[in-house]
Amino acid sequence: MNSNTKLVNFALSLGIVSWIVYLLLIGKSLLVPFVIAVVIWYLIISLTGFIQRVRVFGQNVPEIVATLLAILLGAILIWGFAALVSANISMVVEKAPHYQAKLKQLLSHAIDWFGLQQVPKLSDLFSELNFISLTSGFAQMVTEVAANAGIILIYVLFLLLEHHTFNQKLEALIQQPEQLQKTREIVHRISAKIRSYVGIKTALSLFAASLSYILLRSVGVDFPEFWALLIFLLHYIPTIGSIVATVFPCLLAIVQFESWVPFTIVALGLMFIQFVVGNILEPRLMGKSFNLSGLVILLSLGFWGKLWGITGMFLCVPFTVIASIILSSFSKTRSIAIFLSEDGKIKN
């Protein structure tokens, strides 16, 4: 292959990638609800498989019963999440005047201590903080999910109904046995990796949220259930998610209490929990199984966050894992998979 051919292939590849990114951007309103539906469908299928392995009176749970139980459990969790968020928002609104007065008092003391002549505006103080935009993005994501709940539910139902036909469609689409076997292996690897990631991440997020709830409850910080839920959810966002989850309870502790002692306890306690989970437990449990570069994960976080907002941040690691597996399966794209990896070693 001469240099001109390589240049043409590179230009074509770059054009295709650019076109795909453009389609992902302009098709956000259509694709995001479908991707959310796929995530929910995948979780239901995984939970169904887990329930089926449970033996009742010496028999495995039938698939239809396991599916219905998985759907019911998912509906209960979603309802509990919505009820908890709604109740805490109402309480925040009630206590907002008290928090506002305390915040003004703290700002006044800070202004006197620093010797400032002009009172800075709150918007000026917080305009550059990323966690503000992240929180607004999180609220926007929840609003979008609620607004698209109907279409997401329809997508999930159709995915569940057509779940058993996927293998038949794959066989009809790929006629060559070797290519079919290779495709099945890729799908199996993707499914295993995503299932492992979701399982480990969920367990660690639940562990961090539980410890944080105990800490916040014992100190007396307002809305400990809400902060624990927020910590659980934000742990799915790499790097900045745990930072944001720590900042907000600390800010509330500053505003809520007259003494700095509760704030110090909350700040040190939450940072210790995040350090143990993020720097000790997660590397040990995940090990080298995902083999993704930390820099690549950060770039993926920024890319998908810019493309699809907070939804993209939640999905950036699974998307990167899928891309790495697919790229490593073909000789022409193995170099890209090596770039995405942490140590340059990838499986065939």
SS3 291: coil
DSSP for 84-142, please give it: HHHHHHHHHHHHHHHHHHHHHHHHHHHHHHHT-SSPPPHHHHHTT-HHHHHHHHHHHHH
Write down the pLDDT at residue 99: 67
Q: What is the mean pLDDT of residues 227-233?
A: 88
How far is residue 163's CA from residue 169's CA, in Å, rounded to a whole number?
11
Q: How buried is 103 (Cβ within 10 angstroms: 0-12 exposed, 13-18 middle, 19+ buried)?
A: middle
Give the three-class secondary structure for 221.
coil
pLDDT at 38 over 70: yes
Question: What is the per-residue pLDDT for 128?
Answer: 44
pTM above 0.85, yes or no: no
Please list, residue by residue across 191-227, b when 16 or more beta carbons sit within 10 angstroms of its beta carbon and e when fewer do. Answer: eebbeebbebbeebbebbbebbbebbeebebbbbebb
- Transcribe 187-211 into DSSP letters: HHHHHHHHHHHHHHHHHHHHHHHHH
Name the token pair of 255. 């505003």
Among the residue ranges 88-102, 197-211, 246-260, the one predicted with the least confidence is: 88-102
CA distance 338 to 340: 5
Tens digit of each residue's pLDDT (9 = 90 or more) over 75-88: 888 788 777 777 77
Work out the pLDDT band at 92, boundaries 50, 70, 90: low
